[in-house]
Chains A and B, each alone.
Chain A
Amino acid sequence: MNQHISSSLPLIDVDRVTYRYPARGGTTPASPAIEAVSLRVAPGEYVALLGHNGSGKSTLARLLNGLLAPEAGHVRVLGHDTRERARRRFVRERVGMIFSDPDSQIIATVVADDVAWGLAARGLPREVIASRVDAALAAVGLTDARGRAPYELSGGQRQRLAIAGVLALEPACIVADEVTSQLDPQARGEILALLRHLNRTRGLGVVAVTHLLEEAALADRVIVLEQGRIALEGAPAAVFADLDRLRALRLVVPEVALLGERLRRVGLAIPPDALSPEALVAALIETEGRPA
């Protein structure tokens, strides 16, 4: 994907961006939802935008592909400003978005038609559409469901269908806004594993918006937002080392993290980003036999 573009160019460059929602009914202007935020997402990077409800993370996500335009500052996708009308389609194709409710993105009455919809709307030749639909359905594991009606699919399958619709446009990055929040635990795990797999095997960039530390722990880098500003940023192990700070940012610290912290206090080498039971037990087994 886009091999001709130099890899030193950030995929997404957020440059001192401020955004404020329009005030309701001509009252005093609302305070900014995003204020003077700068960040860069490199090609193939998996970044988590973490924050409690109202911290600004979904607003920031919508600024990344031009669904919202900054009031001040610039967002550039592969060098193109998201405010340039002429580049809007390019920006939306390079940076795809999926949301918590897959049904908000499903249009057609047959799975394969739904994936083809965005391609057909772009007037691509029939053969190109067919091959891209096949590839996108295979990538999300829905090949066998291609002839079914979306409403017959489970919540997790519908979310995979929404991902396939975005993948068919061959994006460089997917912004996933709380995409597991309406799913049961099994489907949640499937979707997270799928995003991780697409990131690892295809170099697809992922910006995952979440309020859950466990989900943010899957990222290469975590950016914590509070009141529209970046409060913390770093690798998961660094960001999750200070649990009191995360609590002060109104995030829920998972019980496994608390357990890890207690075990660290008695001298066991449990990394702070071991937030899943699997990761914690693996770390525990590894520390065995090592001097404390």
Chain B
Amino acid sequence: MSIHVERLTHIYHPNTPRARTALRDVSLSIEDGACAAIIGVTGSGKSTLVQHFNGLLRPTGGRVVVDGLDVGARETRGADLQALRQRVGLLFQFPEAQLFAATVYDDVAFGPRQLGLSPSAVRARVAWALDAVALGHDDAVLARSPFALSGGQRRRVALAGVLAMRPRTLVLDEPSAGLDAEARAELYAQLRTLRREHGLTLVLVSHDMSEVAELADQLFVLADGELRLAGAPHQIFGDTEAIIAAGLLPPPLALVGALARARGLAVAPDATTLDATTNALLAALEGRGDDAR
């Protein structure tokens, strides 16, 4: 499902002394089946932005149209927003903190039960969701207390709880924060599978662009509530100055290139892979050696 944001402005506590503009005139489009990453430092407005995608927040100005539904329009009914919230699953930061049930089964089944599904339909959804996060659904897993699981496993249970609602779009706020490399790679593999085999649209919220670039084909960089950069990862990575100006760290190899250029080595800005950076540095060193001779 597609998400279109047109000139979105969001002001918290409008018309009060505590009014604060969190988003200013942001426009972007995420197409059906895409994987987009929204990147910015803490306070840049990224969480405010994604909370519009399922109608948790309404625009102060501008429009947000999700799957054809204008989430801020006066005529949009509560029932439509409810339906939208099922189609757009939101996984908050450190979601494992929100697990509450006595067993893994009850935790993942909580949402589907609210939908009034039959017990067998709930069971099927729980099984599917736990399989999708590679926890499996044998009885030993279902009966365990979420609190007896490792941090990485608890996060997967939380993700399964969102997936059990069968959303068409998944918004994940810092999904890999605090996970080690292995758990992170596993999570990314599961997200890739969900996208490929189930056609889910993915929206990742992160402060680390080199991390999400593994998954995302569109990057949107926010700073101070404004959209500063938009494009494919390889287009954005070369612009290290704009990335740094947004308070972010460029991917390390892009930074090597930028620093080398600053020291007078002629390294091409689009060299951001290991092979390209190695070759560009060696070529630049050689060129320089020739000049000196």
Q: Which residues in B have their C-beta under 8 angstroms from that of A281?
A: 256, 259-260, 263
Docked complex Cα distance between A53 and B180 (Å): 6
Q: Which of A233-276 contact B (CB under 8 A)?
A: 250-252, 254-256, 258-259, 262-263, 266, 268, 276
Question: Are A278 and B252 in touch, CB under 8 angstroms?
Answer: no
Docked complex Cα distance between A185 and B252 (Å): 12
Q: Find B274's partner among A155, A250, A252, A259 (CB 8 Å cutoff).
A: A259
Task: Tell me if B61 is interfacial: C-beta within 8 Å of chain A.
Answer: no
Known: A256-B252, A258-B274, A289-B292. A182 touches B177 (CB 8 A): yes
Docked complex Cα distance between A182 and B265 (Å): 35
Task: Tell me if B169 is interfacial: C-beta within 8 Å of chain A.
Answer: no
Q: Which residues in A have their C-beta under 8 angstroms from that of B179?
A: 53
Smallest beta-carbon distance B283→chain A, Å:
12
Question: Are A186 and B247 in touch, CB under 8 angstroms?
Answer: yes
Task: Tell me if B29 is interfacial: C-beta within 8 Å of chain A.
Answer: no
Smallest beta-carbon distance A257→chain B, Å:
10
Chain B 244-255 interface 0/1 with A at a Cβ cutoff of 8 Å (1 = within):
000111011101
Smallest beta-carbon distance A104→chain B, Å:
12
**How many residue pairs at the A-B interface have CB separations less than 8 Å?**
84
Tally A residues with Cβ within 8 Å of B.
36
Q: Which residues in A have their C-beta under 8 angstroms from that of B42?
A: 154-155, 184, 187
Docked complex Cα distance between A41 and B75 (Å): 67
Known: A259-B253, A288-B285. A52 touches B181 (CB 8 A): yes
Q: Find A181's partner among B148, B177, B249, B278 (CB 8 Å cutoff).
A: B177
Smallest beta-carbon distance B195→chain A, Å:
23
Docked complex Cα distance between A269 and B41 (Å): 36
Q: Which residues in A have their C-beta under 8 angstroms from that of B239?
A: none
Chain B 275-293 interface 0/1 with A at a Cβ cutoff of 8 Å (1 = within):
0011001100100110010
Docked complex Cα distance between A263 and B278 (Å): 7
Can you give 20 contacting A-B residue pairs, CB < 8 Å? A24-B148, A154-B42, A155-B42, A181-B177, A184-B41, A185-B208, A186-B248, A187-B42, A250-B181, A252-B181, A255-B253, A255-B274, A256-B253, A259-B256, A259-B277, A259-B281, A263-B281, A268-B285, A277-B252, A284-B281
List A residues at the B interface (Cβ < 8 Å).
24, 52-54, 100, 154-155, 181-182, 184-187, 189, 211, 250-252, 254-256, 258-259, 262-263, 266, 268, 276-278, 280-281, 284-285, 288-289
